[in-house]
Amino acid sequence: MPSPGNPKAHWLVRQDRIQGKQDEYIVKIEDNILPVVNFNSFGILIQTDLKLPKEILEAEFYSYGKLISTVELHEVRSYIDAKSNQRFIAYSVIGEPIRVEKVLALKKVTDVITDSNEYAKRMSLVPKEFLMQTLEIRAKLIDLKQRIKAIEPDPFELYKTEIDEYENTICTEMAHYIRENIACSFEVLGELLFKFDEESRNASIDFFREQVGAIIYQAPYPKRAFEKPRGYAGDFDMMISTYKLENRGQNLFAKCIHRYFVEEQAPKAVRNRAVYLNKKLISFLSENPGSTVLSVACGPAMEIETILLNHKDILSKNPSFHFLDQDDEALKSAQQNLVSIKNRYDLNLELSFHHVAIKDVIAKGLQDLKFDVIYSAGLFDYLTAPVAQFAASRLYDHLNPGGQLIIGNFSIDNPNQYGMILTMDWKLIYRTKEEMKAILKNLPGETTVESEDLGINLFAVLKKPLS
């Protein structure tokens, strides 16, 4: 370090170098256009194979095609890079330095203009009908948000029980209002998407989520489904939200939006399928004491929770329940809930939990385990036909003679399918009754197709022959 007392000492602060990309920064020397590799206020590095004079050169410095300044350059050194075999020349700037602030400002404004032009280009791909309806939905939601904000309960004026009743009343009414006056357009727009070419469809989806997503994603239900923190939309937390019908959110508007989503027809069908499976299990277990049941992709297993809480007569027949899921958090949640119920009521039954990847179940099976009932409520919605057939065959191999295999799947008649894609990027493989039968067509036994009360969730039911 130079001594402060030494008159020949120089205090130097090294300037950060700005790296240049292709054609981003150039210098013009004697009609030669040369790319700038990097630079700062007091020096530049260029790449060239030209033999340039070593004396002081006058050069024009350009950024994004615009002249920034005219500078004088003095060669410091030149070298050939061993890897690229390219020749580089380092120059110091003599006199007036390069105006770095102007360069950086120009870069930022160029980026803004480029992004704006790109956005305008994508906007031009959005059909006018879709664009206008999206903006109308946005305007309605913004207006509704302000009106609901005005009737937020005051925690200093009401007790918590009073606030809960107050909010529940508002959320119930607003969920119906949103469905009838705003969200009805979700399905219209969602169906419209599939009439566009792929480029227009993608641009339209992006535009809708940009305009409307920031508003509806204030509610936990659509936000989690869209963001997919567990890698897929219908994770166990989503299922718990669906079953509990709570008013969740950071404010009253968010709670109203959340309530709308969980009260739509598709979530109702999910609640109904738990009722359907509960009845199927009770019927089978009452007639077959000591049966072993396996739930594949079990999630929160609400249908079993109902049995543990309300059907001690069934539990007296000594059933055992097995739960399989590849999502360890789903399995832990189900285990904590069901084992807690078992311990609380001193229930004498077997509960077993298996953390296994679905692909491993399909590829390798479940070793030598056998079951009297195997069911899967929400897995096959994500499996293509060939994979679904193979998975069903694998599960069938683990079914005891006389046992039942029950496979659930959303029907093509789901009235929310287009809205689910548009608002939450929630894509399922929908099936007809004939396609449900086709999943089990190669397996011995009689197959019937049933549904929950709304007819939105279908169930292929197969009874394995006794011999």
Confidence label for 41 from pLDDT (cuts 50, 70 and 90): very high
Report which of 32, 57, 53 is spatially closest to residue 44, judged by C-alpha positions.
57
- Cα R_g (the chain), whole angstroms: 33
Taking the domain 18-119, which CATH number applies?
2.40.10.430
Is 80 exceeded by the pLDDT of residue 22?
Answer: no
**pTM confidence score:** 0.81
Tell me where in the chain the CATH 2.40.10.430 domain(s) lie: 18-119
Whether 393 has a pLDDT exceeding 90, the answer reads yes
271-463: CATH superfamily: Vaccinia Virus protein VP39 (3.40.50.150)
Interval 181-196 mean pLDDT: 93
Give tens-digit pLDDT for 74-92. Answer: 999 999 998 889 999 999 9
Mean pLDDT on 417-434? 96
pLDDT at 15: 66
Residue 161, number of CB atoms within 10 A of its CB: 8
From-to residues of CATH 3.40.50.150 in the chain: 271-463
Tokens 């061993």 locate to 82
Edge to edge, the sheet with strand 350-355 lists 350-355, 320-325, 292-296, 371-376, 399-410, 457-463, 446-451
> 328, 302 in Cβ contact below 8 A?
no
**pLDDT at residue 11, as a whole number:** 41
Q: pLDDT tens, 397-425?
A: 999 999 999 999 999 999 999 999 999 99
Buried b / exposed e along 322-346 (16+ C-beta atoms within 10 A): bbbbbbeebbebbbebbeebbeeee
* pLDDT for the residue 384: 97
pLDDT for the residue numbered 9? 40
Phi-psi region of 19 (alpha: psi -120 to 50; beta: other; left: phi over 0): beta
Per-residue confidence band for 4, with pLDDT thresholds at 50, 70 and 90: very low
